[in-house]
Structure 1
């Protein structure tokens, strides 16, 4: 691995390249904070895909893309005389020191849970009126639900045992079933949301990231269905013309291949 000196040299090289691009490249010269935003979101999802695939080479490349965006935002910030990359690095360094008094102060903690609780309390002391202020509005709903539950847990608003959460899931499923029988679509949607929220909460208690778990299932389904499509084609058949029983034969084969 590279030494600290080599790491700093590589970072400095990237800063120099960013300066060149901002000065000389027509595309880079036109970019703004707003124009880069959607590209950054896209790059973040590409990194997330690489992580789920456990593709370390691809993770390295996607981290580079994200690092470029951070450097780009800092460059624009410096042009606006608002902040530069040093301000960005110092800001996060100071926050990390302040938020880790068990490392840089005299606070003692026994486990990860106490660290999380202290983190949320410290953020309230910094002026936040709600522990939920740090949850971005634009997060996908499932990720947002997980973050909401994680944050309120940090100040002690939580269930004590996993079985309590599972009982809540069962309760919400029962309420959903009651509303389905009544046929009020608005109430059905509301109760369905409650079921999803309680399932996300249960996932947290059994140490499962719900977003990652669902995406793994998405990928698994895609692999199985594409096997089904390929198998049908190789047998001279079209899915639209096949019975469900016929498709199930290939689907069962796919399940054995793609676990």
Structure 2
């Protein structure tokens, strides 16, 4: 690795200028030309490295590289600020993840690449190049752009580069499709919800990152299929939010949150985004799908007038479930249907009572978990084997735990 105690000012233009000193992981950068006798020096012993090469380079040159970036066709193009910041962002990404970067340049581009990278402490090798206007311009551009690299301005792009490399180099990631990642996407979404319920900021930060990973990899898969990319995803969300907030970005006046929500629904209809419950995503949880269908029916004017009326329907469904349970010949499919009707009716009662059924279920779950934990503790203390204890003994333990 290069000696970090000395400056790598290989060109007179760099003498006396402040070096870019942002702390980064250990890395090494080599700038070589196709005429350099050390061309094969960095590519040996199976060492992982990233490689920047001009388009059209013989693939044998970079067959063993872990990450590849194609350079533009001209030095002038590389000095375009957009092209330059993208290149510097890739340099940081490659340095952090692979430790060694080789920039294989045509002779007439090497000075510009050196000018852009001359402030980086990881620069270990570069050709001796005469000063020229393009090199000076590259140095000035680097002074402006390098402080932005690694900040909020490039973090998203670095993460996209990471996902793209995983798709290229990891056997598992390479095999994934939109469909194969559905379960993981849902799982990560619920993990975020759980972290919010727990009120843990550290856990929420991690879970949001896991969910963000799913958004990025789904977008990367779409990009590979010539569909859309993560930038399109962000632009679509930006356009949608702007359109649906005319009270912020337009002349519409909305004084309350209820007015905002009502107008939001109207704008969704104008966008053609109103969905009937029969079209709702099958991936939603059963509770969410049931509530969505009930709310859709309500918006059409088809609903119970009160929670009491909904409760009457629940009693009716409960009675039908009892009949099915007591039938001489039990029909499992019919039993499942009747039980589903009871659960669906219970959700209607919760909705019309203003109770969040998910929170209510979580509360019951937490209560059961804590109470059953005490049952197990008492059973262990009293040397009772739960698996073989008679129902009367289990009830006694349950009441003991309930009254504790």
- TM-score, normalised to structure 2, is 0.53
2:252 is equivalent to residue 107 of structure 1: yes
Aligned residues: 250
2:214 is equivalent to residue 48 of structure 1: no
Moved more, 174-183 or 104-113: 174-183
Q: Which one of the candidate residues 371, 380, 393 is aligned to 1:224?
A: 371
Q: Which has the higher strand share?
A: 2
2:314 is equivalent to residue 172 of structure 1: yes
Looking at structure 2, the residues matched to 177 and 68 of structure 1 have their Cα atoms a distance apart, in angstroms, of: 48
Pairwise CA distance, 1:82? 0.9
Pairwise CA distance, 1:256? 5.4
Looking at structure 1, the residues matched to 260 and 302 of structure 2 have their Cα atoms a distance apart, in angstroms, of: 16
What is the match of residue 204 of structure 2? 59
Moved more, 90-99 or 248-257: 248-257
Pairwise CA distance, 1:145? 1.3
Check conservation: 1:40, 1:69, Cα contact below 8 A: yes
Pairwise CA distance, 1:201? 2.9
Consecutive unaligned residues of structure 1, counting only runs of 5 or more, are none
- TM-score, normalised to structure 1, is 0.78
Moved more, 106-115 or 186-195: 186-195
Matching of residues 44-193 of structure 1 within 5 Å? 44-128=189-273, 130-132=275-277, 135-154=280-299, 164-174=306-316, 176-177=318-319, 180-181=322-323, 192-193=339-340
Consecutive unaligned residues of structure 2, counting only runs of 5 or more, are 1-149
Q: Which has the higher helix share?
A: 1
2:156 is equivalent to residue 14 of structure 1: no
Looking at structure 1, the residues matched to 188 and 182 of structure 2 have their Cα atoms a distance apart, in angstroms, of: 10
List per-residue Cα deviations over 1:220-256 (Å, max 9, x = no partner). Answer: 3133223312321232211133344433343244335
Backbone CA RMSD of aligned residues: 3.2
What is the match of residue 183 of structure 2? 38
Check conservation: 2:378, 2:397, Cα contact below 8 A: yes
2:351 is equivalent to residue 204 of structure 1: yes
Distance 1:130 1:12, change over 3 A: closer
